[in-house]
Structure 1
Amino acid sequence: MTKPRSKKALFIGLPLALAISAAAGFAAWDYWLNDNPGYPAKVMEQAREMHQHLLSFDSHITVLQDFGTHGNEADKDGPGQFDLIKANRGQLSGAALTIFGWPELWNGANAPHKPTAGFVEEARNQQEIRYKIISGMVRDFPNQVGIAYTPDDFRRLHGEGKFAIFISMLNAYPLGHDLNLLDLWTARGMRMFGFSYIGNNDWADSSRPLPFFNDSPDALDGLSDIGKQAVKRLNDLGVIIDVSQMSTKALEQVAQLSRTPMVASHSAPRAMVDIPRNLSDKELQLIKNSGGVVQVVGFSQYLRPLTQTTQDKLNELRKSFDLPPLPNLAVALMPGDPIIAAWPEAKFGQYASRLYAILDEEPKATLKDYGDAIDYTVRKIGIDHVGISSDFNEGGGVKGWDNVGDIPNVTAELISRGYSEADIAKLWGGNFLRVWDQVQKAARPALISQQDKTTP
C-alpha cells in the first residue's frame, strides 16, 4: 500500500504565511500499514468487524483537479489521499467531496483593486473541473459509486455496497452576487454549502482574512446583505449550511437567521490550538443549540500546537528577514502582519518557501491527539452533535490516518477510549444524516420539486 502524504502549499492558508506569519501480539496483517497504529490485535479486529456494517461518512474531502481525466483514475491506488481503492480498503461508506475554486481575491471595499472577470471565471472553471471529475466517477464506475441526493440515497448506496458521494461546496467567491447559482448547484446535486474559505468574500467574513489583499478582520461585520439572503435561500433549498472557516460574527448571524441546523464540516475546538480557524466553546454551543453537528477535523496543525523547536526555527527565519520574534503560537497563526503584506512578490516567495520547509519538518499530530479533540467536543456539546472529517487532499491527515484506507484506525482509537458501537455509529455518520434529514424536511417543497435529481 502506498501511503502518500499530501502537502498543502497553503495548508493553513496565506494568512499563516503572511503572519508567521504495537503492542506485543500484533497480528501480522496489521503490519501492512506504513505507520503501525499501535492498537492491540483484538481492538483492530473489532474495528474492522464494525466497519463491515457501520455506515461511515467523512464530511470533507477535496477533489483534486488532477484526479485523472474527469475522475477516470478513481479506481487506481493513486498518490492522493482519496480514491475508490483506498475507500474500499478502509470500508468508508461515503464522503462529502468538496467543490471549491481559487483564487481568493476579494472585491470588497478594502480590496486594493477590483478583480477582473477573469479571476471569477477561473474560480468557476475550477468548480466545473471538480464537478466533472465527480460526474465522471459516477459515469465510469456505476457499480462502485453513486451520488447521494438524499439521506435515503446514501443509505441505499451503502446497502448496495457502493461508495456514496455527497456533493458539498465551499467558498461563495466564484458565485459573485448571483443567488440563483445556489439553485443551479442544488439542482446539480450540491447538498452542503460553506460561505467562506481563506479570505473574506462579498458574502461573509472569513476566520482567516488575507492582509495580502488588504482584507481586514470583520470587514463585513459578519454576513453581507447577500450573505443573509443566502441563509434563507439555502434553508428553502434544503441545503445544509456549513459554518467552518467563517468568522465568529458570521457564524453567530447564521445561527440567528437559519431555521435549520448548522454543520461545521471540518473544524477543531479552539481548546486544542488557540487560533481563529478553530471553534470557541461559544461557537460549539451555538452549533449544538441549532441541532447541528461539529465534524472534528483530522488536521494536524489544528489539533496540536507547533513544537518549541519549530517555533525557534520560525523566529530564526523571521530574524533573517528583519522581522520581530513571535510572542506566542496564537499570534504566529493569526493573519495581519502588515510588514509581510507590503513585501514585493519575489521577497514574499523566498520567505514562504523557507517557511514551508520548516513547517514540513513539524511532527504530525497523532490519532491520540485527534481522539483528545473528539473527547473534548463530546464533553462540551454531547455525543449527538459530533462527527468526523479528514480534510484529505487539503492538508488533513494525522499519523495513523493518512488516507481513507486508514479509517479503521480511527475507530480503534475510539474503541480504546471506551466509546460504544452506538456512539461510534453516531460519530461516523449517524449524527450528520440526522441533520441532513432535518434540513431536507425544512425545505420549500416547490423548490425541491424543480430540482433535476438525475445522475449527471
Structure 2
Amino acid sequence: MSKPALPIFDGHNDTLLRLEMARRNGAPISFVDGHPSLQIDLPKATKGHFAGGLFAMFVPPILNDAEKNDPVARQKAIEASDAVDWTLGMIAEACRLERASNGRVRICRSSADIKQAMADEALALMLHIEGAEAIGADFNALEAFYAAGLRSLGPVWSRDNIFGAGVPFDFPGSPDHGPGLSDLGKELVRRCNQLGVMIDLSHLNEKGFWDVQKLSDKPLVASHSNVHKLSQSRRNLTDKQLDAIAESKGLVGLNYAVGFLRSDGEKFKRDVSLDLMVDHLAYLVEKLGEDGVGLGSDYDGATVPDVVADVSLNQKLIDHMRHRGFGETLVEKIAFKNWLGLLERTGI
C-alpha cells in the first residue's frame, strides 16, 4: 500500500522575485491562478502538498547590456536605494497575493502562525531577505521589515556588501574565501538575535560563518546548501561547518540546484537522479542527526533536476526517501517537522 502524501515546508525559494520581475517588465503573472513560468504557484503547490516556506526577497544584479552575460558583473555591489526599492516591491507582491488568495495564502510571522495555516490548509508564507543590502548601516529598515513580517535574513548573497563577504559560484572551490563579517555585520547578527530574526548562513563565506557561530545564541541555519564532500562547490558546507551546525541544534535545507548536487559541478545539466539528492540528505542526516535536516529547494531561483522540475513533483523525493529506507518518522521530519522545530528553537 502506498504511503500518503506529506505536507512540505521548504526553506528557500525565489518566487516573489519572479513575480516582481514580471510586474516590472509590464507582464504581471498570477501566483494564485498559476503560471507556466513559475516553479511554485498555488495550483502546483496544492498538487504537490506544498504547505509553505521561507519566501526570499533577493535583489537581482543591476546590469547594463554589456554586463548581462558576465558572471563577474553579477556579483558587483548593489546600491542601497535599489535594494530598498526591490525589497519593498517583493513585500508588496506578498501582500497582493495574500489578498488575492481569499485566505488560501497567509503571511506568517511565527511558527504558531505556520501551524495554524497548515491546519487550515492555507499556504504559509514567511518572509526572508537574501542579501541584506536593503537594511542599511542605521538598521532602521530592519525594524520596518520586521514589522512587515520579516523573520529570516541572510547577511549576504554571493557578493560582498557592508555586512560581509559572500562566496562566488566557483567549482571546485572552498567556502574559505574572503574576510569575515564587518563590524556592521556583527551588529546585524546581534540585532537579529534580539528581534527574533533567523540568520541564514547560505551564501556566507567560511570566515563569516565562524563569526556568526561565535556571536549568535541561536541555532545555526543554512536554508539551502549541500554537502561539500559530495559536490565541491564553494556554496556547499564542509564537515567542520556541519559539525558546528549539529552542535548548535541547527538545520541545513537540501538545495535542489543541480550545480550544488552534482560531483562534476555542472550547473545546467538537469539529469540529476533522486538517488543523488537522497545521497546528500543521507550524509546530512549522518552529520546533523534526524532533527537537523530539511528541504531548501531554491525553486524559481535555480536550475533544478527534471525529476522535481516544480513543486508539484516534490512527493517523488518524499517517496524516494522511503524507497531508500528512511523511516516514516524521519521522512516527516525532513518534509516539514524539522523546519517548524527549528523556527521554535530560534524563538520565532
Q: CA RMSD in A?
A: 2.4
Q: What amino acid does structure 2 have at the position aligned with 1:60?
A: H
Correspondence for 1:84: 42
Matched, 1:178 2:133: no
**Matched ranges for 1:112-261 at <5 A:** 119-208=79-168, 217-218=177-178, 221-261=179-219
CA distance in 1, matches of 2:251, 2:139: 25
Matched, 1:369 2:329: no
Correspondence for 1:302: 260
Assess, with a 3 A threshold, how the Cα gap between structure 1 residues 391 and 134 changes in structure 2: closer, same or farther.
Answer: same
Q: What amino acid does structure 2 have at the position aligned with 1:392?
A: Y
The alpha-carbon deviation at position 205 of structure 1 amounts to 1.3
The answer on whether the counterparts of 1:243 and 1:262 sit within 8 Å (CA) in structure 2 is yes
Matched, 1:419 2:326: yes
The alpha-carbon deviation at position 363 of structure 1 amounts to 4.5
SS in 1 for 2:11: strand
Assess, with a 3 A threshold, how the Cα gap between structure 1 residues 165 and 87 changes in structure 2: closer, same or farther.
Answer: same
Q: What amino acid does structure 2 have at the position aligned with 1:365?
A: V
SS in 2 for 1:266: coil
The alpha-carbon deviation at position 421 of structure 1 amounts to 1.7
Count of aligned pairs between the two proteins: 326
The alpha-carbon deviation at position 422 of structure 1 amounts to 1.2
SS in 2 for 1:57: strand
**Which of 32, 37, 57 is equivalent to 2:9?**
57
Assess, with a 3 A threshold, how the Cα gap between structure 1 residues 298 and 72 changes in structure 2: closer, same or farther.
Answer: closer
SS in 2 for 1:305: coil
Q: Deviations over 1:362-398 (max 9, x none)?
A: 3432211111100111112211111111101111421
Correspondence for 2:251: 293
The answer on whether the counterparts of 2:270 and 2:304 sit within 8 Å (CA) in structure 1 is no
CA distance in 1, matches of 2:80, 2:187: 21
The range that moved more, 55-64 or 261-270, is 55-64
CA distance in 2, matches of 1:100, 1:252: 23
The alpha-carbon deviation at position 266 of structure 1 amounts to 0.3
Assess, with a 3 A threshold, how the Cα gap between structure 1 residues 124 and 236 changes in structure 2: closer, same or farther.
Answer: same
How high is the TM-score relative to the length of structure 1? 0.67
Q: Deviations over 1:261-287 (max 9, x none)?
A: 121010001012112211000111111
How high is the TM-score relative to the length of structure 2? 0.87
**Which of 377, 380, 383 is equivalent to 2:287?**
380
The alpha-carbon deviation at position 70 of structure 1 amounts to 7.4
Q: What amino acid does structure 2 have at the position aligned with 1:57?
A: F
CA distance in 1, matches of 2:164, 2:308: 32
Q: What amino acid does structure 2 have at the position aligned with 1:164?
A: A
Assess, with a 3 A threshold, how the Cα gap between structure 1 residues 209 and 225 changes in structure 2: closer, same or farther.
Answer: farther
The alpha-carbon deviation at position 226 of structure 1 amounts to 0.7
Higher relative contact order (CA 8 A, sep 6+): 1
Q: What amino acid does structure 1 have at the position aligned with 2:42?
A: L
Q: Deviations over 1:106-158 (max 9, x none)?
A: xxxxxx9xx99x93322222212211111111111122111111111111111
The range that moved more, 432-441 or 68-77, is 68-77
Matched, 1:283 2:241: yes
Flag the structure with larger Rg: 1
CA distance in 2, matches of 1:266, 1:85: 24
Matched, 1:436 2:343: yes
Which ranges of structure 1 fall in alignment gaps of 5 or more residues? 1-41, 106-111, 211-215, 311-358, 442-456
SS in 2 for 1:169: strand
Which ranges of structure 2 fall in alignment gaps of 5 or more residues? 64-72, 171-175
The answer on whether the counterparts of 1:146 and 1:165 sit within 8 Å (CA) in structure 2 is yes
The alpha-carbon deviation at position 405 of structure 1 amounts to 0.5
Aligned residues with identical type, % of pairs = 26
Assess, with a 3 A threshold, how the Cα gap between structure 1 residues 129 and 378 changes in structure 2: closer, same or farther.
Answer: same
The range that moved more, 172-181 or 140-149, is 172-181
The range that moved more, 363-372 or 233-242, is 363-372
The alpha-carbon deviation at position 96 of structure 1 amounts to 1.1
Assess, with a 3 A threshold, how the Cα gap between structure 1 residues 67 and 104 changes in structure 2: closer, same or farther.
Answer: closer
